[in-house]
């Protein structure tokens, strides 16, 4: 992921929020060819120095048939995002897109049966807790769960690099920044989410007198703050 310096974040809590709220993400690999599968993911940060992503895909998925311990993969999470119209500026410029995203590069570690069971138990609890009549893994019966598990391919992705991007019009003058927020607040839910994010960000940024051009930067391993 290309991240100009202006949009690079090292906010650990922001990373957790993006993953938690957008956990149906892309698992990308390139063992034999580029493959990508949308899957439900969970961040495991019990050990802050060795965080990893838990997920599972169908064992019948061709991607599952290629992955083995130690393979490099990428987990891609897209957070809040929305269109930004150039008509909201006080000068002629191009339209763009504001968004938040997290990419985690990591090494595959295949789950054993106990790890897969615990993963499915945690994942089910996360989404069933809010149901009117929650159905937990323990309520399904051991024989049924073990039978269904045969079709699941459990993975832990041990993080090697983490990149967080928060592109929220940081390169705009204050009056343009405020105009963007005002227009987003009158738009759809995606726009309103980005408007709230921008208002929170406003406390942290210094506005320039002119637009700031994108600058490339050297990729660095994630630094926790």
Q: Is the pLDDT of residue 21 over 90?
A: yes
Q: Which two tokens stand for residue 201?
A: 């960000």
Q: Could you tell me the pLDDT band of residue 206, with boundaries at 50, 70 and 90?
A: low
What pTM does this model have? Answer: 0.86
Q: Where does the chain have alpha helices with state H? A: 12-21, 62-66, 113-128, 142-149, 174-185, 189-202
pLDDT, tens digit (0-9, with 9 covering 90-100), for 42-97: 999 888 888 999 999 999 999 999 999 999 999 999 999 999 999 999 999 999 99
Measured CA to CA, the distance from residue 113 to residue 39 in angstroms comes to 19
Q: Dihedral of CA 186/202/205/217: which sign?
A: negative
DSSP letter for 214, please: P
């Amino acid at each position: 992921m290309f991240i100009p310096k202006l949009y690079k974040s090292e906010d650990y809590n922001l990373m957790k929020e993006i993953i938690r709220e957008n956990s149906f993400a892309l698992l990308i690999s390139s063992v034999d060819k580029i493959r990508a599968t949308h899957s439900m993911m969970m961040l495991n940060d019990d050990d802050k120095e060795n965080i990893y992503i838990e997920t599972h895909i169908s064992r019948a998925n061709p991607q599952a048939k290629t992955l083995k311990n130690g393979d490099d993969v990428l987990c891609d999470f897209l957070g809040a995002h929305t269109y930004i119209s150039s008509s909201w500026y006080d000068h002629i410029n191009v339209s763009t897109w504001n968004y938040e995203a997290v990419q985690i590069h990591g090494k595959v570690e295949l789950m054993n049966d106990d790890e897969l069971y615990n993963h499915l138990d945690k994942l089910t609890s996360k989404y069933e807790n809010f149901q009117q009549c929650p159905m937990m893994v323990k309520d399904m019966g051991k024989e049924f769960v073990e039978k269904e598990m045969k079709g699941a391919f459990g993975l832990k992705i041990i993080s090697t690099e983490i990149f967080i991007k928060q592109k929220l019009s940081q390169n705009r003058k204050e009056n343009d920044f405020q105009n963007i927020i005002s227009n987003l607040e009158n738009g759809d839910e995606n726009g309103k989410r980005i408007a709230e994010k921008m208002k929170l960000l406003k406390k942290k940024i210094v506005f320039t007198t002119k637009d700031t051009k994108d600058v490339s930067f050297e990729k660095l391993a994630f630094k926790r703050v």
